[in-house]
């Protein structure tokens, strides 16, 4: 039974929905257009207004300021301004004022130091609108006037300062410029925020070249002084090392005879070891010097012995002469 009712209701609702779907779509678009038209008409008649963040709306009617709205959100003008709200958008005028923090950079403001050097000063500053009415009506170009005021204050405050202070103490100069400008800028609805001297430079190209030349010469002097100091330290280290080495070699030369004598004394205690040692040393000396040797048999006659010995002496004298000549050439 319930299934039959459900099927009947589904078929009935489906038929109605399928027949009315085009009308629903058309009605939706017409409703959206009607709502937009009604909201636009209400806004034109001053029923409401939407104020964004960091924005102010200034309303004037017949040349007089009716009111200022600076709080973000939805505002009903009929409640705030009464019947005059109907004429604000038709006869009156609405000004939109941006209250966000803004910044500006003034490049190379001409300033002369106490020594007469032509300097350029770059000033960076922040500003924001404190009074929208004065911002609109007190000055036709408040931003340009504030820039001119900051520039003239920079020149007036920083002129004739010592060059050393101008190059180093930028915080004090920034404070001087800010104190000079703030009082005048408030008359135009502007307030100066942070102010900072970002760049101080020379404006005379010839002076810049002279300073560069002095800096380069000074760097060369410092570099040469560092090199000379390093060379002096290396010389001191080298001479100290050579002195210590000479002392150590001298000690070694003095100790060597004692060591050799002690070794020979120990060797001489044993006759066989001493004879063998000296024979080995003699043989090594003969081999090193390449001395020619003549062997004389034990049973040779006396004449042969004299002949061999005389020839050996001649060869030995020649070798000694050669050795002396080589030593002299060296």
pLDDT tens digits, residue range 9-64? Answer: 455 445 554 556 666 777 777 777 877 777 777 777 777 788 888 888 888 888 78
Higher per-residue pLDDT: 325 or 215: 215
How high is the pLDDT of residue 7? 55
pLDDT, tens digit (0-9, with 9 covering 90-100), for 285-301: 777 766 666 565 666 55
Q: Mean pLDDT of all residues in the chain?
A: 76
Share of residues in the chain with pLDDT > 90 (%):
0
How high is the pLDDT of residue 132? 87
Burial environment of residue 85 by CB neighbours within 10 A (0 to 12, 13 to 18, 19 or more): buried
Share of residues in the chain with pLDDT > 70 (%):
78
Contact status, residue 158 vs residue 111, Cβ threshold 8 Å? yes
Could you tell me the pLDDT band of residue 146, with boundaries at 50, 70 and 90? confident
For residue 103, pLDDT beyond 80? yes
For residue 329, pLDDT beyond 80? no
Average pLDDT over every residue of 257-285: 74
How high is the pLDDT of residue 272? 74
pTM over 0.75: no
Walk me through the domains of the chain, giving residue ranges and CATH numbers.
2-97 (no CATH), 102-203 (3.30.479.30), 265-329 (no CATH)
For residue 2, pLDDT beyond 50? no
For residue 229, pLDDT beyond 60? yes
Could you tell me the pLDDT band of residue 182, with boundaries at 50, 70 and 90? low
């Amino acid at each position: 039974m319930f299934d039959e009712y459900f099927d009947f209701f589904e078929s009935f609702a489906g038929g109605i929905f399928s027949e009315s779907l085009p009308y629903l779509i058309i009605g939706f678009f017409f409703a959206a257009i009607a709502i937009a038209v009604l909201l636009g008409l209400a806004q034109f008649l001053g029923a409401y207004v939407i104020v964004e963040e960091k924005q102010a709306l200034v309303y004037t009617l017949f040349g007089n300021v009716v009111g200022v709205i600076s709080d973000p959100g939805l505002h009903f003008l009929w409640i705030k301004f009464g019947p005059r709200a109907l004429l604000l958008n038709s006869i009156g005028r609405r000004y939109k004022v941006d209250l966000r923090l803004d910044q500006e950079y003034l490049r190379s403001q001409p300033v002369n130091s106490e020594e007469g050097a032509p300097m350029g000063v770059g000033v960076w500053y922040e500003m924001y609108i404190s009074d929208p009415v004065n911002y609109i009506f007190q000055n036709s170009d408040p931003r340009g006037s504030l820039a001119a005021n900051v520039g003239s204050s920079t020149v007036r405050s920083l002129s004739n300062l010592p060059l050393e202070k101008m190059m180093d103490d930028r915080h004090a100069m920034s404070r001087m410029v800010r104190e000079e400008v703030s009082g005048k800028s408030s008359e135009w609805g502007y307030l100066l925020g942070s102010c900072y001297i970002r760049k101080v430079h020379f404006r005379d190209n010839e002076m810049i070249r002279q300073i560069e030349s002095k800096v380069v010469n000074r760097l060369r002097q410092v570099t040469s002084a560092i090199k000379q100091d390093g060379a002096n330290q290396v010389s001191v280290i080298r001479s100290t090392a050579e002195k210590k080495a000479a002392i150590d070699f001298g000690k070694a030369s003095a100790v060597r005879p004692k060591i050799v004598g002690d070794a020979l004394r120990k060797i001489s205690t044993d006759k066989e070891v001493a004879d063998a040692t000296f024979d080995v040393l003699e043989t090594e000396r003969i081999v090193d010097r390449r001395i020619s040797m003549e062997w004389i048999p034990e049973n040779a006659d006396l004449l042969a012995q004299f002949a061999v010995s005389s020839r050996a002496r001649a060869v030995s004298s020649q070798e000694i002469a050669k050795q002396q000549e080589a030593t002299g050439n060296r």
